[in-house]
Amino acid sequence: MSIAFPETISNDTEVDYQCVNINAKLPNQKRVSHPFEVDLESIKDAVRTILQAVGEDPDRDGLLDTPRRVAKMYAEMFGGLHLDPGRHLDVTFEENYDEIVLVRDIEFTSMCEHHLLPFRGVAHVAYIPNGRVTGLSKLARVVEEVSRRPQVQERMTQTVADLIEERLGSSAVGVIVKAEHSCMSIRGIRKPGSMTVTSSMRGSFRKDPASRAELMSLINQ
């Protein structure tokens, strides 16, 4: 077994926001870089409109710079939208290791696409290598980048599992995401502290109860 905690595997977890065209299919998995410019001016106009719509004065002192700040915040929160998070898994190493590799407690913040409010929590990412392993911090980078999109937690969980399955050719992938949703804690039903857990199990983690039980015991250690 191999368990890693993100804080111990890499301290260079800043995200590289180089934009790539995720649809480009080129040899050697190289992808065309094309910068995507977030339309900050449109966001600023929209934020002004919202402030006016709720009866605020967007021209009062405290709010003057708010549209610009919010525009920059959205550009950051959605900065993964035009990136290919799978590129972090392009470099692999031959390794004769066929047991569970688990990186657990990868913290993330994403945005619920229904309310544009954050959901925050941790992801546990596991796979059983198929002759090749990836750098442990790369799994954390994939989670970080996938989280930078408007989405629902269910799809985020599946997206991470899909990327690991496809890019590492792994026979077993397990992704478990546990998060608190602001749209449930600060509005609507107002239940702070309630956690939503989603999982995506592939290969032996799905088919073999013993393999899944081993994974769960490592996560809960």
Compose the 57-96 pattern: x for residues touching Zn ion by CB under 5 A, - for all others.
Answer: ----------------------------------------
Q: How far is the CB of 159 from Zn ion (least distance, A)?
A: 17
Contact 143, 164 (CB under 8 A): no
Q: Is 152 in the site for Zn ion (CB under 5 A)?
A: no
Q: 19 an active-site residue? A: no
Please select the residue that binds Zn ion; options are 68, 72, 115, 206, rule is CB under 5 A. Answer: 115
Q: 114 an active-site residue? A: yes
Residue 192 identity? P
Query: Which of these, 125, 218, 114, lies nearest to 175 by C-alpha position?
Result: 125
Backbone angles phi, psi at 183, to 5 degrees: -70, -15
Nearest position to Zn ion, beta carbon? 183
Tokens describing residue 134: 């990836």
Q: Which is nearer to Zn ion, 102 or 112 (CB)?
A: 112
Q: How far is the CB of 183 from Zn ion (least distance, A)?
A: 3
Q: How far is the CB of 152 from Zn ion (least distance, A)?
A: 8
Query: Which of these, 145, 163, 107, lies nearest to 15 by C-alpha position?
Result: 145
Instruction: Report the distance separating Cα 119 and Cα 65, nearest Å.
Output: 26
